[in-house]
Structure 1
């Protein structure tokens, strides 16, 4: 198949169509609106469902209803809109129906700005809405990955009756790159035996997230947890670069990981033995790989576009076995490869310590007068 030039948001939209998306409900918010605009044309031309809801609250509850029928359903939004969807996402998780969510992150907190950031990590990766559940979260770093992971998200959501999230930032949503689009899959011809699609000739089915009897709620929580343990055992994905002989390892996801790779290559050209671990699934997190690396390397550098939300997961995985340092740019400011390279050089030339918190050391350096 030939590669074509695709814009991130539109590539994700078309990938969802080709994955068999049957119904989309959403509401415009920058920097993901092109995704919704594209589907407003593409879905009706294929005879599929597209609804621009009156709000993010309306959209996520329409998604909930459609998911209960067993169709492939998706919504997309950006940071403040995702926050509004959290209650609905918890209901979806509690009802154990598959849904795909695309979050194109922007600067915050609050209304913030429309520049790329990674501040949604905690609200997405660590469960989002109330209650005990974990979504599957896939973090692309280029347009081809955004296409491939969107296709995968539908399969994973259905396999585990879970929420699968494609988590990217505004720069990936807006950039254009050559990529290969997979062929159009046929729509489903059958639906799962839990789906609510009319009760003619069979016993009535009921889908709900309400368990008023605590033992029944506990049973539901345990069922969701057992399914999550299967996800952790089978679906961890990451990409490693130059790890075989690395003295230091940089950890970054999405755009931050992409920028870090440029810095790692530049450091390698200067003789510094540094590698990169880029989580593709940030949930489930590649903790085991980090734990193994911690026994082999002299230190880690976590690079993010937030105040260190993934950093906490790295620290938990490393368990104090190796020093961890941190570098970030905030509020929609993207880190530059040169900045990350400077941090790598500092690590390579300075004694590292496991004492104190990496965020505090980074903040002290950030606040030093120029």
Structure 2
């Protein structure tokens, strides 16, 4: 049975049902409903909630909980995620699984509380120091948030990697009907033989660490990590293709903007313009093969990338299609959100002229 829920609250409930038993966070708009929900819900299932003294403290608490084998999560919004970057790099370096939610707001600086997508580079290129990546999703609906969150801890555990959900203020505040999955039995989850639980002594003791003094050991870690990223790319890359078979103009967008772009595709089709939509669901790994396949379609004349930023994902689009077709950009920023009609006008006025 479906239930009407606000995006942030649905995300929190999906995390609990997916096995999350530790949450640490610090308030910031527009994600505050996530920690508020977790503050009472986790105790109902035997979990722990901590409102930390800062974002820096929160991410390091997640490091500790994850190192002990607990399914751990934190959430924040743009400036708060920036403060967590050192800890995220440490978590990646220690090969710890966790889930991080970023309900993006406008920037730079404190910016505003309205929705944005200007944290794409930070999320997909590694916002902290060193060579690392996270598995990054860009869901476009509350239901997709629920579906992804429910399995995000499984993915994090399988690959021992941080998983990030890159949302925005719209996605967090919108209310939609969702189908909630069953509660996972955490007692049946695979045991973590690497977790620092106090087991083992001497040479068999378990150590969680991101410090590698020997250059060869650190180089080996980096090579091992990137082999893992290649494996993730082969197994976990996700995308949606909509009316691209005969499309002349291919719109591309992620998250909530992709819903706006899909409406624009339908309007353009009604007006006789053959448009389609290619939406990445995983932002890292980016669906390069899918984009190149569409770019090689002889009917495709050009791409139009729409974002709530000055243009960030567009760089990955250009790289993916190997510059075989022109890529135009249409974006809004500062917390402003385009309408389907805005995209239609751009396509007709700037691309089709």
Q: What is the TM-score normalised by the length of structure 2?
A: 0.97
Match of 2:103 in 1: 104
- From 314, 317, 322, the equivalent of 1:319 is 322
Match of 2:308 in 1: 305
Match of 2:294 in 1: 293
The Cα of 1:174 is off from its aligned counterpart by 0.1
Match of 1:268 in 2: 269
Let me know the Cα RMSD of the aligned residues.
Answer: 1.2
The Cα of 1:207 is off from its aligned counterpart by 1.2
Contact 1:15/1:181 (8 A) holds in 2? yes
Q: 2:123 aligned with 1:124, yes or no?
A: yes
Contact 1:298/1:322 (8 A) holds in 2? yes
**Cα distance in structure 2, aligned partners of 1:30 and 1:180:** 26
Gaps of 5+ in 2: none
Contact 2:103/2:172 (8 A) holds in 1? yes
**Cα distance in structure 1, aligned partners of 2:33 and 2:295:** 41
Match of 1:137 in 2: 136
Match of 1:196 in 2: 196
Match of 1:345 in 2: 348
Q: 2:332 aligned with 1:332, yes or no?
A: no
The Cα of 1:45 is off from its aligned counterpart by 2.2
The Cα of 1:191 is off from its aligned counterpart by 2.6
Name the SS for the 1:188 alignment partner.
helix
Match of 1:186 in 2: 185
**Cα distance in structure 2, aligned partners of 1:180 and 1:140:** 16
Q: Cα deviation per residue 1:84-104 (whole Å; 9 max; x = unaligned)?
A: 000000000000010100000
Match of 2:227 in 1: 226
Contact 1:13/1:35 (8 A) holds in 2? yes
Q: 2:30 aligned with 1:27, yes or no?
A: no
Contact 2:115/2:169 (8 A) holds in 1? yes
**Cα distance in structure 2, aligned partners of 1:239 and 1:322:** 20
Q: 2:91 aligned with 1:88, yes or no?
A: no
**Cα distance in structure 1, aligned partners of 2:334 and 2:312:** 14
Q: 2:49 aligned with 1:54, yes or no?
A: no
Inter-CA distance 268–120: structure 2 relative to 1 (3 Å threshold): same
**Cα distance in structure 1, aligned partners of 2:222 and 2:32:** 35
Q: Cα deviation per residue 1:236-293 (whole Å; 9 max; x = unaligned)?
A: 1011111111111000000111111111111111111110011100100011111111
The Cα of 1:200 is off from its aligned counterpart by 5.2
**Cα distance in structure 2, aligned partners of 1:334 and 1:187:** 40
Runs of 4+ in 1 over 2 A off after TM superposition: 188-191, 199-203, 346-350
**Cα distance in structure 1, aligned partners of 2:54 and 2:326:** 45
